[in-house]
């Protein structure tokens, strides 16, 4: 979803926050549904596709020594052990969605289904034999659609408490968001495999085991920050998740806004998706709130503020986020999981606002 469509959706949601009902999950794009056919696959030159789209980073032989200058070395396919397993489905999802937090771009919009399958097959063929990795019975795998799981999560840092009621959202790109269900606070972002659901065997009571690498965690200041306040009194309002909704490739968290006494004064949505910056997916969250019995507004966010252009205010936070507020959506804040407001990020943000779907 582009930011332009998000703004339209947010505008509609603001007027229907108390009445909105889920419309069901959206359909996957046709190219993600159509299986590869032997007849088509025979006409493709898988090595030529690899050389055109992959060799500049991963090397002609797959040794990870391409001619592209990267912030971190590209993966060597000769060693095997890919991010999500060595099945065609696992490699295919990396080709389609890219890998956030790495230089690996997404090719889902530029390559067709059969081309993606051919590239995945060729990449697997470069690895050593016998290295295909299949997940265990209790491992949850995110494939073509996001997955939402509720359960107990372990402490994510020394001195922190385990979270008995977490909401964990996994995306095909390998990004996992962990929220505290009690107050809808984002606690961690991880990259890699999803979850080992060990609580199945014990019928609940056991912690879910996150499998990805921790790439972001909430600071104490962000854990205590309330996104919205009562517009008149300035009192902070707590968010409480009501339900989740998967719409195509995106996830919406619907929440109530409660005052200090627990009375509902409004509601809103948090939207989870990705902004494509030079074909690299950057995690993006948009939070919208609306009052019913009382007017609500965004709380001022601590950080370094600047005016990005004539219609966007940007705040760079101390815990590695870029937050944007648009003049025509004053009750919505868009968080980008990027350390700074760079020209590339600004261009992608502006293009998404102008893009017609």
Q: Which of 74, 88, 82 is nearest to 116 (CA)?
A: 88
Domain C-terminal end among 72, 99, 126: 126
* Burial annotation 217-232 (CB, 10 A radius, 16+ → b, else e): bbeeebeeeebbbbee
Phi and psi at residue 328, to the nearest 5°: -90, 10
Q: How far apart are CA 135 and CA 140, in angstroms?
A: 8
Residue 51 contacts by C-beta under 8 Å, 6 or more apart in sequence?
Answer: 60
User: Are 179 and 273 contained in the same domain?
Assistant: yes
Q: Which of 70, 92, 126 is the last residue of a domain?
A: 126
Same domain, 237 and 273: yes
d(CA 320, CA 304): 11
- Averaged over 254-264, what is the pLDDT? 92
Q: Mark whether 104 and 235 lie in a shared domain.
A: no
**Residue 72 falls within a domain, yes or no?**
yes
Q: How confident is the model at residue 156 (pLDDT cuts 50, 70, 90)?
A: confident
Between CA 124 and CA 84 the distance in angstroms is: 12
Residue 148 has pLDDT above 50, yes or no: yes
How large is the average pLDDT for residues 100-120? Answer: 86
pLDDT band at 137 (very low <50, low <70, confident <90, very high): low
- What pLDDT sits at residue 160? 66
- Looking at the structure, tell me whether residues 84 and 9 fall in a common domain: no
Q: Considering the domain boundaries, does residue 52 fall inside one?
A: yes
Please check the confidence at residue 313 and state whether its pLDDT lies above 90: yes
Residue 166 and residue 181 in one domain:
yes
pLDDT digits (tens, 9 = 90+) for 196-234: 876 554 445 578 889 889 999 988 777 778 899 999 999
Tokens representing 28 are: 């996957």
Supply the pLDDT for residue 164.
76
pTM for the full predicted model: 0.73
From 157-161, 224-228, 246-250, the region with the lowest mean pLDDT = 157-161
Q: What is the mean pLDDT of residues 299-310?
A: 87
| 208 and 331 housed in the same domain | yes
Between 334 and 2, whose confidence is greater? Answer: 334
Q: Which of 282, 333, 276 is nearest to 305 (CA)?
A: 333
* Comparison of pLDDT for 10 and 312, the residue scoring more: 312
Residues 273 and 326 in one domain: yes
In a domain, 103, yes or no: yes
- Residue with the bigger pLDDT between 108 and 13: it is 108
Statement to judge: residues 193 and 236 lie in one domain: yes
Strands 312-316 and 322-326: antiparallel
Average pLDDT over residues 64-80: 81
Lowest mean pLDDT, pick from 105-114, 126-135, 141-150, 267-276 = 126-135
pLDDT for res 231: 92
Is the same domain home to 23 and 36?
A: no
Distances in Å between the Cα of 132 and the Cα atoms of 14, 75, 144, 356 are: 48, 16, 20, 41
Higher-pLDDT residue of 26, 13: 13
Specify the pLDDT at position 272.
Answer: 95
Question: Could you give the 3-state DSSP secondary structure of residue 234?
Answer: coil
Instruction: State mean pLDDT over 170-184.
Output: 90
Q: In what order do the strands lie in the sheet with 250-258?
A: 296-298, 228-230, 236-247, 250-258, 264-277, 280-291, 329-336, 322-326, 312-316, 304-307
The answer to whether residue 138 sits within a structural domain is no
**What are phi and psi for residue 262, nearest 5 degrees?**
85, 5
Same structural domain, 22 and 40: no
Q: CA torsion sign, 273 to 275 to 281 to 286?
A: negative
State residue 29's pLDDT score: 37
**Could you say which of 96, 126, 156 is where a domain stops?**
126
* Segment 101-109 mean pLDDT: 83
- What's the rounded Cα separation, in Å, for the pair 113 and 285? 28
Q: Has residue 132 been placed in a domain?
A: no
Query: Do the Cβ atoms of 6 and 355 come closer than 8 Å?
Result: no
- Indicate whether 337 pLDDT > 90: yes
Inter-helix orientation angle 88-97/113-126, to 10°? 120
| pLDDT of residue 258 exceeding 70 | yes
Q: Is residue 189 part of a domain?
A: yes
Q: Residue 294 has what DSSP assignment?
A: S
Nearest Cα residue to 252 out of 208, 299, 288? 288
Total count of domains within the chain: 2
Query: What is the domain-level CATH number for residue 108?
Result: 1.10.760.10
Q: What are the residues whose beta carbons fall under 8 Å from the beta carbon of 159, sequence distance 6 or more?
A: none
Q: pLDDT-based confidence at 84, cuts 50/70/90?
A: low
Residue-number span of the structural domain to which 177 is assigned = 3-28+145-354
Beta-sheet strands, E only, within the chain: 139-140, 147-153, 163-170, 175-180, 185-191, 195-196, 209-210, 213-217, 228-230, 236-247, 250-258, 264-277, 280-291, 296-298, 304-307, 312-316, 322-326, 329-336
pLDDT for residue 203: 46
Token pair 């060693």 is at which residue?
79
Among 85-89, 289-293, 335-339, the least confident range: 85-89
Q: Is the pLDDT of residue 97 over 80?
A: yes
- What pLDDT sits at residue 134? 57
d(CA 268, CA 239): 9
Inform me whether the pLDDT recorded for 23 exceeds 60: no
Average pLDDT, the chain: 81
Asked whether residue 48 falls in the same domain as residue 14, the answer is: no
Domain for residue 134, yes or no? no
Share of the chain above pLDDT 70, in %: 80
Residue 252 shares a structural domain with residue 211: yes
Indicate whether 307 belongs to any domain: yes
């Amino acid at each position: 979803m582009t930011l332009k469509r998000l703004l339209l959706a947010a505008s509609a949601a603001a007027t229907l926050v108390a009445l909105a009902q889920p419309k069901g999950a959206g359909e996957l794009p046709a190219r993600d549904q159509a299986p590869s056919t032997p007849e088509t696959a025979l006409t493709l030159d898988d090595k030529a596709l690899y050389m055109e789209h992959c060799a500049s980073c991963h090397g002609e032989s797959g040794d990870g020594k391409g001619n592209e200058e990267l912030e971190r070395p590209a993966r060597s396919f000769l060693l095997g052990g890919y991010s999500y397993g060595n099945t065609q489905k696992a490699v295919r999802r990396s080709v389609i969605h890219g890998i956030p937090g790495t230089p690996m771009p997404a090719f889902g919009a530029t390559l067709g289904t059969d081309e993606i399958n051919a590239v995945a097959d060729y990449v697997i063929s470069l690895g050593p034999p016998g290295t295909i990795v299949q997940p265990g019975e209790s491992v949850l795998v995110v494939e073509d659609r996001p997955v939402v799981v509720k359960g107990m999560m372990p402490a994510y840092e020394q001195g922190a408490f385990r979270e008995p009621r977490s909401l964990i959202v996994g995306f095909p790109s390998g990004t996992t968001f962990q929220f505290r269900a009690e107050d809808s606070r984002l606690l961690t972002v991880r990259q890699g495999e999803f979850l080992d659901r060990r609580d199945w065997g014990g019928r609940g009571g056991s912690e879910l085991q996150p499998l990805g690498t921790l790439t972001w965690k909430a600071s104490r200041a962000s854990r205590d920050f309330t996104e919205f306040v009562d517009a008149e009194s300035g009192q902070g309002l707590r968010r409480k998740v009501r339900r989740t909704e998967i719409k195509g490739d995106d996830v919406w968290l619907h929440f109530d806004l409660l005052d200090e006494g627990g009375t509902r004064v409004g509601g809103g949505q948090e939207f989870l998706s990705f902004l494509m910056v030079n074909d690299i997916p950057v995690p993006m969250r948009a939070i919208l709130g609306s009052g019913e019995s009382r007017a609500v507004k965004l709380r001022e966010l601590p950080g370094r503020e600047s005016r990005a252009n004539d219609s966007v205010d940007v705040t760079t936070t101390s815990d590695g986020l870029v937050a944007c507020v648009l003049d025509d959506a004053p009750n919505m804040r868009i968080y980008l999981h990027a350390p700074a407001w760079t020209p590339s990020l600004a261009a992608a943000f502006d293009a998404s606002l102008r893009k017609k779907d």
